[in-house]
Structure 1
């Protein structure tokens, strides 16, 4: 006997089905999945399918249905009765969304909700301001937005900022999303997390907490974040969250301040027992543009990738998300075979801006990504999200923009296998942006390695 894994959600996209694991399936598989809500054996499902398709021979229906159910069990969409299933994410899903759904989804899969621009940190790479906007969305306005997300069958939201915990109503907003069946995560610098606040978030139904850790020592982390004593606070919070069994992910932005400490950060996170660590490259947006000298050079990234790869072999608890860097960087460090393997495993972050995701600013502006800056495809105080999602010219372009469209990367010898980075930075989708321009890190890569100057 089996049951549907309780963490699985799905929605219909025309005559196809999309799961929150980013797996798509055809109409028949979708019908089998929906029957599994009330059926717990293959025979029960086959009986219902024969009733639905009386012209199909019973033997054929049994064989076809059994194949589908075995796939469901393999991917933990279905789990044996009495067992607890995990969440098996579909690797390299953006390629799959393109080939199976033609990059045309009815709604985003996940939405980033920037509930405030205020922040108590002074991070050197961030795009958020230090003070709240005078016209930020109210609690009730955020609830109305969540109603829209629920109606569109959005699977998840990420509450970010600024520092989201500066809002006293964050637990109320999380609870509202939870009650609507939307998976909610919270990204925080950790400075305002206490045991009491964690308990309130847990009661509200928070699914995961994402914490920033940008150094293996107080000197590096606190300098990067601009808050004395924050490192020790974050470490204690990680220990507490792991002890309490609350899902946690660690986010680390690579910079010249911490690049020598990245392997040590990996070891520290693993020792603390956090299940996931995402290593993110230094992206040219927000204050990162002003602090460009903190961006590692191609040579520094290449050297780091080798050290990351070797250190990962020692990790016992933590799974690693590698930085989204040009394929040539991987070629010159751990090799293209390992790069391809990381892509297949889903171990490198992919850009889904305007295709699977979008972001909402503190004042209700919709944009492709939280890194898109102050651009607006429309404001939710005036236009429903569905209208913006379907009709924004920028979103439409992002769904058709191919690797061969991006300059100068379209002339690179590794263009076909490279992930080509961000597609919705301010330099690309801003008022004076060029959507055909490559991510600045990737453009720099081309300048160094494809134009013949390897003096990095």
Structure 2
């Protein structure tokens, strides 16, 4: 089940904590935010530091802790970290790479350790397009296999799909694939130019708008949830369509964005607004995570809807959307500028 948003003050605690437990990964994905590498960084948090970080995360009481990477399965102590987090009352989600290592992992042991949710990436609707995107053969087959294994183990399954210029034409094919996989949630990620992701792969704002309208249309008739990552203006489209139809949106929109309900901890302990917005506000090795999230000027300003500039600052939907601060930063150098991939003109 999706964690509840009720009674959460996003100024006091985040809705989601993303922790990049390692940058080690066997894949070579074209869009990799982390620019992952085959071996662990010698500066990544030690087991002792990692356990201390989990204690600090528990203070914030987020509805979900997402262990990501790199590939979190590359950490030898991953089961210990999962068990410690679950023991602190944290809802643990795991975002592994679809490798042979994952397929040979006992998913029931992951579930017993405390993994309640698993997110897997499908960035091509066919084996050819997905494997080309991921940079390693057979990742498509392994992803489908891992999805089945997660569901059989009783985990909540989320499928993440990155929309790029080259995959725009696969939206309907992706939908048919989701109907077969039956995930709990399909999260459509709109590319941010950071890490290995390049500007050349970004679709136009008009193309993005068309995708959001298509997703809103499709979301009405499917059994799984549909949401977006770094595509906050999908919430605006859903509200507009609901108003036009005289109905309520298909699902409640949690008004998160980089630094607002989201906090990211890097493999070396850096505290950032998200994994796609590389602006560092502290480090867990010497700073209190809760204090940085609640009080650091960067986070405070990112949560201020009236601090947004350009048309995002004038937009009547800024409180539920606010645009991607990461994409604004990646494309303009200003984290408070308008989201360049939104075509909407405020009234």
TM range (shorter): 0.7 to 0.9
1:354 and 1:326, CA in 2 relative to 1: closer, same or farther beyond 3 A?
Answer: closer
> 1:164 — aligned with what?
72
Q: How far apart are residue 202 of structure 1 and its match?
A: 1.4
**Residue-by-residue CA offset, 1:181-238 (whole Å, 9 max, x unaligned):** 1111011232232253323311211010000011110111111111111101111221
Q: How far apart are residue 260 of structure 1 and its match?
A: 1.4
Q: How far apart are residue 160 of structure 1 and its match?
A: 0.5
> 1:406 — aligned with what?
309
1:186 and 1:382, CA in 2 relative to 1: closer, same or farther beyond 3 A?
Answer: same
The worse-fitting range, judged by mean Cα deviation, of 321-330 and 240-249 is 321-330
Q: How far apart are residue 178 of structure 1 and its match?
A: 0.5
> 1:438 — aligned with what?
338
Q: How far apart are residue 327 of structure 1 and its match?
A: 7.0
Are the counterparts in 2 of residues 118 and 130 from structure 1 also a CA contact under 8 Å? yes
CA distance in 1, matches of 2:147, 2:235: 35
CA distance in 2, matches of 1:426, 1:301: 15
Are the counterparts in 2 of residues 351 and 421 from structure 1 also a CA contact under 8 Å? no
Are the counterparts in 1 of residues 54 and 85 from structure 2 also a CA contact under 8 Å? yes
**Residue-by-residue CA offset, 1:350-378 (whole Å, 9 max, x unaligned):** 434333221111001111111112x3211
Q: How far apart are residue 175 of structure 1 and its match?
A: 0.8
CA distance in 1, matches of 2:14, 2:217: 36
Cα RMSD for the two superposed structures: 3.1
CA distance in 2, matches of 1:281, 1:267: 20
> 1:392 — aligned with what?
296
Are the counterparts in 1 of residues 306 and 313 from structure 2 also a CA contact under 8 Å? no
Q: How far apart are residue 342 of structure 1 and its match?
A: 7.3
Are the counterparts in 1 of residues 14 and 262 from structure 2 also a CA contact under 8 Å? yes
Within-5 A mapping of 1:14-93: 21-24=4-7
> 1:116 — aligned with what?
22
The worse-fitting range, judged by mean Cα deviation, of 260-269 and 351-360 is 351-360
SS in 1 for 2:165: coil
> 1:59 — aligned with what?
none
Are the counterparts in 1 of residues 242 and 249 from structure 2 also a CA contact under 8 Å? no
1:328 and 1:340, CA in 2 relative to 1: closer, same or farther beyond 3 A?
Answer: farther
**Residue-by-residue CA offset, 1:158-180 (whole Å, 9 max, x unaligned):** 10111111112111111110111
> 2:271 — aligned with what?
366
Q: How far apart are residue 21 of structure 1 and its match?
A: 1.4
CA distance in 2, matches of 1:325, 1:363: 28
Are the counterparts in 1 of residues 65 and 93 from structure 2 also a CA contact under 8 Å? yes
> 1:197 — aligned with what?
106
Structure 1 gaps of 5+ residues are 1-6, 9-19, 25-96, 451-456
Are the counterparts in 1 of residues 270 and 284 from structure 2 also a CA contact under 8 Å? yes
Pairing 1:337–2:243 present? yes
Q: How far apart are residue 294 of structure 1 and its match?
A: 1.4
Q: Please point out which of 196, 213, 226 is paired with 1:287.
A: 196
Pairing 1:231–2:135 present? no
Are the counterparts in 1 of residues 242 and 248 from structure 2 also a CA contact under 8 Å? no
Pairing 1:297–2:204 present? yes
Pairing 1:134–2:42 present? yes
Q: Please point out which of 263, 284, 287 is paired with 1:380.
A: 284
Are the counterparts in 2 of residues 285 and 426 from structure 1 also a CA contact under 8 Å? no
Structure 2 gaps of 5+ residues are none
Higher relative contact order (CA 8 A, sep 6+): 2
Are the counterparts in 2 of residues 284 and 440 from structure 1 also a CA contact under 8 Å? no
SS in 1 for 2:282: coil
- Using the size of structure 1 for normalisation, the TM-score is 0.67
Q: How far apart are residue 424 of structure 1 and its match?
A: 4.6
> 1:42 — aligned with what?
none
SS in 1 for 2:186: strand
Considering only CA atoms, is the larger Rg found in Structure 1 or Structure 2?
A: 1
1:134 and 1:310, CA in 2 relative to 1: closer, same or farther beyond 3 A?
Answer: same
1:163 and 1:327, CA in 2 relative to 1: closer, same or farther beyond 3 A?
Answer: closer
Q: Please point out which of 149, 153, 157 is paired with 1:244.
A: 153
SS in 1 for 2:149: helix
1:359 and 1:425, CA in 2 relative to 1: closer, same or farther beyond 3 A?
Answer: farther
CA distance in 2, matches of 1:220, 1:355: 34
